Structure 1
Amino acid sequence: MLEGFGTVGVVIALGALLAHLGVLDLHGQKVLSTVSFLVATPALLVVTLQGNDVSTVFSAGMIAVAAGVVATIVGSVLVSWRRKETMGEGVVGVMAATYGNTGNLGLPIATYVLGSAVLVAPTMLFQLILLQPAILTLLDAARSERRLRVSEVLLRPVRNPITIGAFVGIAMVVLGWSLPGWLGDPVDLIGNLAVPCMLLAYGVSLRLGPLPGRGVAPSVLWGRVGMKLLLQPLVTYLTGHYLLGLDGAELLAVVVLSALPTAQNTFVIATRYGTGQVMARDVIFVSTLLSVPAIALIAWLLS
Structure 2
Amino acid sequence: MESVILGFATIVAVIGVGALVAHLGVVDLGAQQVLSRVAFFVASPALLVTTVADADVSDVLSRGLAATVVAVVIPAATYVLIARWRWRRSAGERVIGALSSSYVNAGNLGLPVAAYVLGDAALVAPTLLLQLLVLQPLALAVLDADVRGTRPSVSEVLLRPFTNPLTIGTLVGLLLSITGWRLPPLVADPVELIGAMAVPGMLLAYGISLRLGPGFGGDVPPGELALTSGLKLVVQPLVAYAVAHHALGLSGHALLAVVVCASLPTAQNIFVHATRYDRSSTLARDTILVTTTGAVPLIMLVVWLLG
- Whether 1:173 and 2:180 are equivalent positions in the alignment is no
Identify the residue that residue 13 of structure 1 maps to in structure 2.
16
Quick one: which of 104, 115, 119 aligns to 2:123?
119
1:52 is paired with a residue whose SS is coil
Correspondence 1:221 to 2:225: yes
Structure 1 range deviating more: 239-248 or 209-218:
209-218
Counterpart amino acid of residue 138 in structure 2: A
Larger deviation, residues 209-218 vs 61-70:
209-218
1:201 matched to which residue of 2?
A: 205
1:257 alignment counterpart: 261
Query: 2:56 corresponds to which residue?
Result: 53
- Read off the aligned partner of 1:265 and give its amino acid letter: N
Once the two structures are overlaid, the 10-residue window that deviates more, 145-154 or 69-78, is 145-154
Name the structure 2 match of 1:183. Answer: 187
CA distance in 2, matches of 1:147, 1:214: 29
| Match for residue 301 of structure 1 among 299, 302, 305 | 305
Aligned with 2:38: secondary structure?
helix
Contact 1:43 1:190 in 2 (8 A): yes
- Superposition deviation, residue 252 in structure 1: 0.4
Segments of 5+ residues of structure 2 without an aligned counterpart are: none
Alignment size in residue pairs: 303
CA contact (8 A) 1:225 1:286 kept: yes
The 2-side partners of 1:296 and 1:105 are apart by 14
How far apart are residue 254 of structure 1 and its match? 1.1
Separation in structure 1 between the aligned mates of residue 196 and residue 33 of structure 2, nearest angstrom:
18
The one-letter amino acid of 2:22's match is A
Q: Which amino acid aligns with 1:44?
A: L
Whether the 8 Å contact between 1:264 and 1:284 is mirrored in structure 2 is yes
Q: Given the alignment of the two structures, is residue 78 of structure 1 paired with residue 81 of structure 2, yes or no?
A: yes
For 2:160, which of 152, 156, 159 is the aligned residue?
A: 156
Shift of residue 70, structure 1, vs aligned partner: 0.7
Q: Does the CA contact (< 8 Å) of 1:212 and 1:285 recur in 2?
A: no
Q: Which runs of 5 or more residues in structure 1 are unaligned?
A: none
Of 144, 148, 157, the residue aligned with 1:144 is 148
Is the 1:51–1:178 contact (alpha carbons within 8 Å) kept by the matching residues of 2? no
Contact persistence 1:51–1:176 (CA under 8 A): no
- Length-normalised TM-score, structure 1: 0.96
Give the CA deviation at 1:52.
2.6
CA distance in 2, matches of 1:172, 1:61: 24
Q: 1:277 aligns with which of 281, 284, 287?
A: 281
Instruction: Name the residue aligned to 1:3.
Output: 6
| Structure 1 residue 59: Cα displacement | 2.1
Q: CA deviation at 1:153?
A: 3.5
Match of 1:26 among 19, 29, 49: 29
What secondary structure does 1:104 align onto? coil
Matches within 5 A, 1:90-109: 90-109=94-113
Q: Return the offset for 1:146.
A: 3.8
Residue in 2 aligned with 1:287? Answer: 291
Q: Relative to 1, partners in 2 of residues 1:145 and 1:224: Cα closer, same or farther, differing over 3 Å?
A: closer
Moved more, 46-55 or 263-272: 46-55
C-alpha distance in 1, partners of 2:39/2:238?
A: 32
Question: Which deviations, in whole Å up to 9, do the C-alpha atoms of 1:66-111 show, x marking residues without a partner?
Answer: 0100111111112211211111111110110011011111112112
Shift of 1:150: 4.1
